[in-house]
Amino acid sequence: MLNLEGLRANLGELWIPDIYISDVRSMRTRRMAMAIPERENSPDILHTLLGVELKVGKLRIACPDLSTARYLMVFARIGCRDIAVPYDITKISKIADDLETAWQRLNLILEGASVRTRNKAIRLVRDEIASAGSGDAAPEFKQTTKQRGRC
């Protein structure tokens, strides 16, 4: 049987909630709500004539680019309904790479575990991400600007 406390230590820097807190929540983000089941899902990325979509069950989520779809796919697998998405799209690809690597490592560790243990581990990851929060619906912009006097 897999020890859930040891799971976090075994993954170390590849613990998905730690990546989310340190790399995503520390920057300017916007909240993304997905109406997906709170359980492990099997999402797919679809390339359509209108762009890239993430399909989770019957739900289709339009994504501006492939890296955002990859980013959202990790959270859709875990069953996270509300997450923060980096506002700076140049950062999403690197974070998506880190999250996908962490997911694959977690998946390998849970490969021989029972269904109950696997569900507990996924729930633990989902709960830690939810406790970190998803932020505001839109990023905060400073309204005050300094203008130089005209000469």
CB 103 within 8 A of CB 147: no
| Alpha carbon distance 101, 99 (integer Å) | 5
Q: Output the pTM of the full model.
A: 0.87
Per-residue b or e along 23-37, where b marks 16 or more CB atoms closer than 10 Å to that residue's CB: ebbeeebeebebebe
User: What pLDDT sits at residue 3?
Assistant: 77
8 A C-beta contact, residue 139 and residue 30? yes
DSSP state letter for 114: -
pLDDT in tens, 126-143: 999 999 998 777 666 666
Region 86-111 average pLDDT: 95
Of residues 118, 112, 34, the one with CA closest to residue 76: 34
Residue 151 has pLDDT above 80, yes or no: no
Question: How confident is the model over 23-75, as pLDDT tens digits?
Answer: 999 999 999 999 999 999 999 999 999 899 999 999 999 999 999 999 999 99
What pLDDT score does 142 carry?
Answer: 65
